[in-house]
Amino acid sequence: MEIIEVKNLAKVYNNGGVETRALNGVTFNIRKGEFVAIMGPSGSGKSTLLQILGLLDDYSHGGFHFNGQDIKSYNSSEVAKIRNEKMGFVFQAFNLLPKSTVLENVKLPLLYSDRPESDWDKLATEAIEAVGLSHRINHEANQLSGGEKQRVAIARALVNQPEVIFADEPTGNLDSKSGQAIIEIIQKLNQEKNHTIILITHETYTAEYAERIIRLLDGKIESDVKVENRKLDGKSFVK
Protein backbone atom coordinates (compact mmCIF):
# COMPACT_ATOMS: atom_id res chain seq x y z
CA MET A 1 0.00 0.00 0.00
CA GLU A 2 1.19 3.50 -0.83
CA ILE A 3 1.70 5.75 2.19
CA ILE A 4 2.83 8.79 0.16
CA GLU A 5 1.64 9.73 -3.32
CA VAL A 6 2.69 12.97 -4.98
CA LYS A 7 1.70 14.03 -8.48
CA ASN A 8 3.03 17.02 -10.41
CA LEU A 9 4.06 18.61 -7.11
CA ALA A 10 5.31 22.18 -7.40
CA LYS A 11 6.54 24.80 -4.94
CA VAL A 12 6.87 28.40 -6.07
CA TYR A 13 8.36 31.14 -3.91
CA ASN A 14 7.48 34.75 -4.71
CA ASN A 15 9.92 37.42 -3.57
CA GLY A 16 9.07 40.93 -4.69
CA GLY A 17 7.30 39.69 -7.78
CA VAL A 18 10.15 37.35 -8.72
CA GLU A 19 9.08 33.70 -8.86
CA THR A 20 11.46 30.89 -7.93
CA ARG A 21 10.42 27.30 -8.56
CA ALA A 22 11.94 25.08 -5.86
CA LEU A 23 9.95 22.06 -7.11
CA ASN A 24 8.65 21.73 -10.63
CA GLY A 25 6.30 18.84 -11.39
CA VAL A 26 7.57 16.06 -9.09
CA THR A 27 5.71 12.72 -9.25
CA PHE A 28 6.41 9.53 -7.25
CA ASN A 29 4.90 7.11 -4.72
CA ILE A 30 6.38 5.60 -1.55
CA ARG A 31 4.92 2.38 -0.21
CA LYS A 32 4.52 1.55 3.47
CA GLY A 33 7.71 0.10 4.95
CA GLU A 34 9.95 1.38 2.16
CA PHE A 35 13.36 3.01 2.77
CA VAL A 36 13.92 5.81 0.25
CA ALA A 37 16.88 8.17 -0.01
CA ILE A 38 16.44 11.56 -1.69
CA MET A 39 19.61 13.07 -3.10
CA GLY A 40 20.60 16.14 -5.06
CA PRO A 41 22.99 19.09 -5.05
CA SER A 42 22.35 22.23 -3.03
CA GLY A 43 19.34 24.04 -4.49
CA SER A 44 17.92 20.90 -6.13
CA GLY A 45 14.72 21.01 -4.06
CA LYS A 46 15.32 18.09 -1.70
CA SER A 47 14.93 20.10 1.51
CA THR A 48 11.78 21.77 0.15
CA LEU A 49 10.39 18.33 -0.71
CA LEU A 50 11.12 17.09 2.82
CA GLN A 51 9.34 20.08 4.33
CA ILE A 52 6.25 19.40 2.20
CA LEU A 53 6.18 15.63 2.78
CA GLY A 54 6.62 16.23 6.51
CA LEU A 55 3.71 18.71 6.52
CA LEU A 56 6.04 21.49 7.66
CA ASP A 57 5.30 23.57 4.54
CA ASP A 58 2.55 23.79 1.93
CA TYR A 59 2.89 23.19 -1.80
CA SER A 60 1.79 25.50 -4.60
CA HIS A 61 0.38 23.10 -7.20
CA GLY A 62 -0.18 19.40 -7.75
CA GLY A 63 -1.42 16.68 -5.43
CA PHE A 64 -0.24 15.02 -2.22
CA HIS A 65 -1.98 12.07 -0.58
CA PHE A 66 -0.93 10.56 2.76
CA ASN A 67 -2.37 7.11 3.55
CA GLY A 68 -4.76 7.60 0.63
CA GLN A 69 -6.15 10.89 1.92
CA ASP A 70 -5.72 14.24 0.17
CA ILE A 71 -3.69 16.48 2.50
CA LYS A 72 -5.74 19.49 1.37
CA SER A 73 -8.83 17.90 2.93
CA TYR A 74 -7.40 18.35 6.45
CA ASN A 75 -7.60 21.51 8.53
CA SER A 76 -4.54 22.91 10.32
CA SER A 77 -5.20 21.11 13.61
CA GLU A 78 -5.66 17.78 11.81
CA VAL A 79 -2.41 18.35 9.91
CA ALA A 80 -0.60 19.06 13.20
CA LYS A 81 -2.02 15.86 14.70
CA ILE A 82 -0.85 13.75 11.75
CA ARG A 83 2.59 15.35 11.88
CA ASN A 84 2.99 14.61 15.59
CA GLU A 85 1.48 11.13 15.70
CA LYS A 86 2.25 9.64 12.27
CA MET A 87 5.62 11.26 11.55
CA GLY A 88 8.97 11.44 13.28
CA PHE A 89 11.83 13.79 12.42
CA VAL A 90 15.61 13.51 12.76
CA PHE A 91 17.67 16.58 11.87
CA GLN A 92 21.37 17.16 11.23
CA ALA A 93 21.64 19.59 14.17
CA PHE A 94 20.02 17.16 16.69
CA ASN A 95 17.76 19.94 18.15
CA LEU A 96 17.99 18.64 21.72
CA LEU A 97 17.49 20.60 24.96
CA PRO A 98 21.08 20.65 26.27
CA LYS A 99 20.28 20.81 30.00
CA SER A 100 17.54 18.18 29.85
CA THR A 101 18.19 14.46 30.28
CA VAL A 102 17.98 11.88 27.54
CA LEU A 103 14.65 10.68 28.97
CA GLU A 104 13.24 14.22 29.13
CA ASN A 105 14.28 14.98 25.55
CA VAL A 106 12.74 11.79 24.21
CA LYS A 107 9.44 12.43 26.02
CA LEU A 108 8.95 15.87 24.43
CA PRO A 109 6.68 14.80 21.52
CA LEU A 110 4.39 13.05 24.00
CA LEU A 111 3.44 16.43 25.49
CA TYR A 112 1.45 17.12 22.33
CA SER A 113 -0.02 13.62 21.92
CA ASP A 114 -3.19 11.96 23.17
CA ARG A 115 -1.22 9.30 25.02
CA PRO A 116 -1.84 9.20 28.80
CA GLU A 117 0.95 10.67 30.88
CA SER A 118 1.20 7.41 32.81
CA ASP A 119 2.60 5.77 29.63
CA TRP A 120 5.22 8.41 28.82
CA ASP A 121 8.16 6.96 30.73
CA LYS A 122 7.53 3.47 29.35
CA LEU A 123 7.27 4.68 25.74
CA ALA A 124 10.37 6.86 26.05
CA THR A 125 12.39 4.10 27.74
CA GLU A 126 11.47 1.65 24.96
CA ALA A 127 12.54 4.15 22.30
CA ILE A 128 15.85 4.76 24.09
CA GLU A 129 16.45 1.01 24.32
CA ALA A 130 15.80 0.71 20.57
CA VAL A 131 18.79 2.96 19.84
CA GLY A 132 21.07 1.31 22.41
CA LEU A 133 21.31 4.24 24.81
CA SER A 134 19.74 2.89 28.01
CA HIS A 135 22.99 3.41 29.93
CA ARG A 136 22.79 7.17 29.25
CA ILE A 137 19.10 7.66 30.02
CA ASN A 138 19.65 10.07 32.95
CA HIS A 139 22.56 12.01 31.40
CA GLU A 140 21.98 15.55 30.16
CA ALA A 141 22.19 16.04 26.40
CA ASN A 142 25.24 18.32 26.71
CA GLN A 143 27.16 15.41 28.26
CA LEU A 144 26.79 13.24 25.16
CA SER A 145 28.95 12.73 22.08
CA GLY A 146 27.63 13.73 18.65
CA GLY A 147 26.71 10.14 17.80
CA GLU A 148 24.89 9.73 21.11
CA LYS A 149 22.99 12.97 20.57
CA GLN A 150 21.78 11.72 17.21
CA ARG A 151 20.66 8.46 18.82
CA VAL A 152 18.59 10.53 21.27
CA ALA A 153 17.10 12.41 18.32
CA ILE A 154 16.16 9.11 16.68
CA ALA A 155 14.59 7.86 19.92
CA ARG A 156 12.60 11.10 20.14
CA ALA A 157 11.39 10.54 16.57
CA LEU A 158 10.35 7.00 17.52
CA VAL A 159 8.52 7.72 20.77
CA ASN A 160 5.08 8.24 19.22
CA GLN A 161 5.56 5.07 17.16
CA PRO A 162 5.20 6.93 13.84
CA GLU A 163 4.53 5.40 10.46
CA VAL A 164 7.16 7.54 8.70
CA ILE A 165 10.55 8.77 9.88
CA PHE A 166 12.08 11.70 8.01
CA ALA A 167 15.86 11.89 8.43
CA ASP A 168 17.40 15.13 7.15
CA GLU A 169 21.18 14.68 6.72
CA PRO A 170 21.31 12.66 9.98
CA THR A 171 25.02 11.87 9.59
CA GLY A 172 26.08 15.32 8.40
CA ASN A 173 27.55 16.46 11.74
CA LEU A 174 29.21 13.15 12.61
CA ASP A 175 32.53 11.45 11.94
CA SER A 176 32.42 8.48 9.57
CA LYS A 177 32.30 5.79 12.30
CA SER A 178 29.46 7.49 14.22
CA GLY A 179 27.65 8.23 10.96
CA GLN A 180 27.76 4.59 9.91
CA ALA A 181 26.38 3.52 13.30
CA ILE A 182 23.48 5.99 12.93
CA ILE A 183 22.54 4.92 9.42
CA GLU A 184 22.65 1.27 10.49
CA ILE A 185 20.23 2.05 13.35
CA ILE A 186 17.89 3.76 10.87
CA GLN A 187 18.09 0.80 8.51
CA LYS A 188 17.37 -1.59 11.41
CA LEU A 189 14.24 0.39 12.32
CA ASN A 190 13.08 -0.03 8.75
CA GLN A 191 13.79 -3.75 8.56
CA GLU A 192 12.73 -4.86 12.05
CA LYS A 193 10.00 -2.32 12.92
CA ASN A 194 8.76 -1.66 9.38
CA HIS A 195 8.97 2.13 9.72
CA THR A 196 8.85 3.92 6.38
CA ILE A 197 12.11 5.90 6.10
CA ILE A 198 12.66 9.00 3.95
CA LEU A 199 16.31 9.99 4.09
CA ILE A 200 17.72 13.28 2.77
CA THR A 201 21.44 12.98 2.16
CA HIS A 202 24.25 14.22 -0.08
CA GLU A 203 26.40 11.17 0.76
CA THR A 204 26.20 8.30 -1.74
CA TYR A 205 27.64 5.91 0.86
CA THR A 206 24.78 6.73 3.24
CA ALA A 207 22.12 6.58 0.51
CA GLU A 208 23.17 3.03 -0.41
CA TYR A 209 21.65 1.76 2.85
CA ALA A 210 18.25 2.59 1.33
CA GLU A 211 16.25 0.41 -1.06
CA ARG A 212 15.74 3.18 -3.57
CA ILE A 213 17.34 6.52 -4.46
CA ILE A 214 15.44 9.48 -5.92
CA ARG A 215 17.77 12.12 -7.34
CA LEU A 216 16.57 15.69 -7.79
CA LEU A 217 18.04 18.36 -10.04
CA ASP A 218 16.64 21.86 -10.48
CA GLY A 219 13.37 20.92 -8.80
CA LYS A 220 12.73 17.89 -11.01
CA ILE A 221 13.36 14.17 -10.65
CA GLU A 222 16.55 13.29 -12.48
CA SER A 223 16.37 9.57 -11.65
CA ASP A 224 14.43 7.14 -9.46
CA VAL A 225 16.15 3.77 -9.15
CA LYS A 226 16.39 0.73 -6.91
CA VAL A 227 19.72 0.28 -5.11
CA GLU A 228 21.24 -2.76 -6.80
CA ASN A 229 24.11 -3.41 -4.37
CA ARG A 230 22.56 -2.26 -1.13
CA LYS A 231 24.58 -1.95 2.08
CA LEU A 232 23.42 -3.87 5.14
CA ASP A 233 25.19 -3.46 8.50
CA GLY A 234 28.41 -2.40 6.84
CA LYS A 235 28.21 -5.12 4.17
CA SER A 236 26.75 -5.14 0.69
CA PHE A 237 24.21 -7.49 -0.74
CA VAL A 238 22.32 -7.85 -3.97
CA LYS A 239 18.58 -7.84 -3.37
Q: pLDDT digits over 25-81, tens only? A: 999 999 999 999 999 998 899 999 999 999 999 999 999 999 999 999 999 999 999
Separation between Cα atoms, residue 189 and residue 196, nearest integer Å? 9
Q: For the chain, give the mean pLDDT.
A: 94
CA neighbor of 215 nearest in space, from 57, 59, 93, 49: 49
Rg (CA), the chain: 18
Separation between Cα atoms, residue 211 and residue 218, nearest integer Å? 23
Q: Do 179 and 90 contact (CB within 8 A), yes or no?
A: no
Which residues, other chains included, contact 31 with Cβ-Cβ below 8 Å and sequence gap of 6+?
Answer: 1, 2, 3, 196
3-state secondary structure of 43: coil
pLDDT at 17: 85
Q: What domains are there in the chain, each with its CATH number?
A: 33-55+86-236 (3.40.50.300)
pLDDT at 36: 98
pLDDT at 112: 87
Work out the burial of residue 19: count CB atoms within 10 Å of its CB; fewer than 13 is exposed, 13-18 middle, 19 or more buried. Answer: exposed
Q: pLDDT digits over 176-211, tens only? A: 999 999 999 999 999 988 999 999 999 999 999 999
Which residues, other chains included, contact 226 with Cβ-Cβ below 8 Å and sequence gap of 6+?
Answer: 211, 212, 239
3-state secondary structure of 216: strand
pLDDT at residue 237 is higher than 70? no
Mean pLDDT across the stretch 93-112?
Answer: 95
Q: Do 3 and 32 contact (CB within 8 A), yes or no?
A: yes
Cβ neighbours, 10 Å, residue 12: 14
Confidence category of residue 236, pLDDT binned at 50, 70, 90: low
Cβ neighbours, 10 Å, residue 211: 17
Q: pLDDT digits over 3-17, tens only? A: 999 999 999 998 888
Separation between Cα atoms, residue 108 and residue 119, nearest integer Å? 13
CA neighbor of 141 nearest in space, from 88, 186, 105, 191: 105
Q: Do 24 and 220 contact (CB within 8 A), yes or no?
A: yes
Confidence category of residue 239, pLDDT binned at 50, 70, 90: very low
Altogether, the residues listed in the chain come to a count of 239
Confidence category of residue 234, pLDDT binned at 50, 70, 90: low
